[in-house]
Each structure stands twice: as C-alpha cells, then as structure tokens.
Amino acid sequence: MSVRCYLGLGSNMGDRLLHLKTAVKLLDAVSGIQCISRSRIYETDPVGYLEQDQFLNAVVCVRTTRKPFELLELILQIEKQMGRERLIHWGPRTIDIDILTYGNMTLLSEQLVLPHPRLHERAFVLLPFMDLDKQWVHPNMNQSIQELWNQLKQKGGVREWMIQWESEYERTEN
C-alpha cells in the first residue's frame, strides 16, 4: 500500500537549483518512492541562523511504500550523499529534505515528528505546499494548508524564483 507524503526541499550552498533537481532525481530513483508532483521554486530569506545565503525551497509530493522511519533513513542517506554537513543548527546546507507529512499520520518520537512540527509556522513551507494541495488538512490542527497560510503572521521573505524546474532553454523550446 502506498502513502502520499509531502517533502520540503531547501538549498543555499553552491548550485542551489541543481541540488533541488538532484534530490528529486535521487528520491525518484529509490525503490518504493515515486515523485508525483513538484511545487514552484521559491527563493527565501534564512530563518533562525541569519548569517547565511538565501535558500531555494520547494515541496514535492511522493507516493511511497516505505515506512516513515525507512523514508527518514533514505532521506538522511541522500542528504549525506549530496554533501550535507550539520555544523550549525539551521545553518547553510547543500540540501535539506524534511518529511512534512506522511499521509494523515501523527507521530511523536525523538527521531521523527509528523506532521513536521513547524510546518504551520513557515511561509517557505506553506506557500509551495499550497501549489500542490491547498486542501490538505493538518490532522492535529484540523485546518487546511490554505487556512494555515491565511493565519500565518510572517509571510515575508519568500519570493517565487525566476527559474523553475526546467531550464530557461527548455522553457523557450516548449
């Protein structure tokens, strides 16, 4: 049985767009994970640790037959493969992949909290999430992504990025 999950992607080091594209390709290449849709890409100001470059952020929807902790382990392996180092909390990173939702599951453990504990507080998550599913309802808050966005006080620092998943060349050819 497959479960629909939403994953948050972020990068603010090196070729940020390439890192997002690579992460999606690596996720899609894993047995039991299929990427089915992607949000637009947004450029965002850093949150938490501010002395760093701007991020590119997106949300992808995947179908998976993997259990939540298996999915987490695979994501951590992909991050490591892509050069992620955890030196500063909320610091610069080549890639960050967060499990935002796993179906409608709620889970609270030291390793994994579902839905993501700060999903409802972050414009850089809610805005791209709305690109994919405004009606998804947070199981603990009983509110849709659209309702959570409407209640969000700090919506600044997030801009649709000029380049999306395809290159400028591909866009002009289609």
Higher pLDDT, 173 or 79: 79
Please, what CATH class does the domain formed by 3-173 belong to? alpha beta
Could you state, in order of their start, the residue ranges of all structural domains in the chain? 3-173
For 89-114, the pLDDT digits (tens) are 666 788 999 999 999 999 999 999 99
Q: What residues are annotated to the active site?
A: 84, 93, 96, 98
Question: How much is the pTM?
Answer: 0.90
133 falls in which pLDDT band (50, 70, 90)?
Answer: very high
| Average pLDDT of every residue of the chain | 89
Mean pLDDT check: name the lowest of 47-61, 71-85, 158-172: 158-172
46 falls in which pLDDT band (50, 70, 90)?
Answer: confident
* SS3 assignment for the chain: CCEEEEEEEEECCCCHHHHHHHHHHHHHHCCCEEEEEECCCEEECCCCCCCCCCEEEEEEEEEECCCHHHHHHHHHHHHHHCCCCCCCCCCCCCCEEEEEEECCCCEECCCCEECCCCHHHCHHHHHHHHHHCCCCEECCCCEEHHHHHHHCCCCCCEEECCCCCCCHHHHHHC
For 140-153, the pLDDT digits (tens) are 999 999 999 999 98
